Amino acid sequence: MKSSRRFLVGAAIVVASAFVLSRIVPNEYFFFAAYVVLQFVVLATAWNILGGYAGYVNFGAGAFFAMGAYTSVALVKAFDAALIWQVACAVVVTGLMGFSVGAMTLRLRGIFFSIATVAIAVICETTVMNWGLVGGSRGTTILQPEAPIFFTSYLRFLFVLMTIFVLVAVGIARYIETSWIGRGLRALRDSEEAAESLGVPTLKLKLLAATLSGALMGLAGSTAPLYKSSLEPLSAFSLDYAVSALAMPIIGGTSSWLGPVIGAVLLGSVQQVVQVTISSELNVLVVGVLLVLFVVVAPQGILGLLRGVSRRK
């Protein structure tokens, strides 16, 4: 109870700090880059719920991210829906998508499950490319609304909103990690047969993890069309999202909710610096180099490396 209260107090302080930054930082590019880093935190945290805690490696993260974005676009085009409905429906759609995908594929294990998630991403992209309402293969544009009161630009508002999304995602991951759900997921990750023999409801836990993971990935993508003011399938379903979602928790450490946060902040910040100083084409190379480096040098991620150093001391 005290831990939850401390988290809520900390969350309130973080949101207040984000609002203050949106008022006092003059450089608009800071919010342009910070939004992406925060979006990565949500995406990495979402992936880790299924891929880290349960051990089911999902290569289809880009599909959930993109479907969250396209749900928002469809609602705007069809009903001119408010942002709150865009976000809520994106979470519901991708949560149901995660549940459905889980029901169909979670009986598969190892590489077979990962291949299935790639196939699902291809199916989703093909569907969107033939969906006229959202622009099909040509994509579509979305005009940003007027900046809400107390904000000088809509981008600054999206920065604060994504900060709230980060706190929601981290709060869920933190609760899962410290509850019976996390213990059950770790048990089935280590040995699913042993967990079942001890009475752990493995299928129910996997479905829950798949649903929450999918919903949070959709949450990360729900405001992407407003951030970019446009959306098209090749960028929305880009392999970059799938690779980054996998790399960030591995770099930070998959054993804790804090690992994906560290990995996302590190990787997202490096990518933004590379994009500005060298070229955006090198982003995937940066991800690949860092991923290989940490897999070889620190397979438990940054958190595992720090814990090892602490134990030796």
Domains located in the chain, CATH noted? 2-312 (1.10.3470)
Residues contacting 47, CB < 8 A, separation 6+ = 58, 61, 213, 217, 245, 246, 248, 249, 260
Q: What pLDDT is attached to residue 136?
A: 85
What are the angstrom distances between the C-alpha of 296 and each of 164, 243, 269? Answer: 34, 17, 22
Q: What pLDDT is attached to residue 145?
A: 84
d(CA 53, CA 215): 16
* Identity of the residue numbered 237: F
For the record, the structure tokens of 92 come out as 């519901």
Q: What pLDDT is attached to residue 209?
A: 93
Per-residue pLDDT of the chain (313 residues; tens, 9 = 90+): 667 788 888 889 999 999 999 999 988 889 998 999 999 999 999 999 999 998 888 888 989 999 999 999 999 998 888 999 999 999 999 999 999 888 887 777 777 888 888 888 889 999 999 888 888 888 888 888 888 888 889 999 999 999 999 999 999 999 999 899 989 999 888 888 888 888 888 889 999 999 999 999 999 999 999 998 888 888 888 888 888 888 889 888 888 889 899 999 988 888 887 777 766 666 667 777 777 777 777 777 788 777 776 777 6
Q: What pLDDT is attached to residue 268?
A: 84
Bridge-based pairing state of the strands 230-231 and 140-141: antiparallel
Q: What pLDDT is attached to residue 113?
A: 82
Phi, psi angles (nearest 5°) of residue 230: -160, 165
Phi, psi angles (nearest 5°) of residue 140: -150, 165
**Inter-residue contact 41 to 260 (CB < 8 Å):** yes
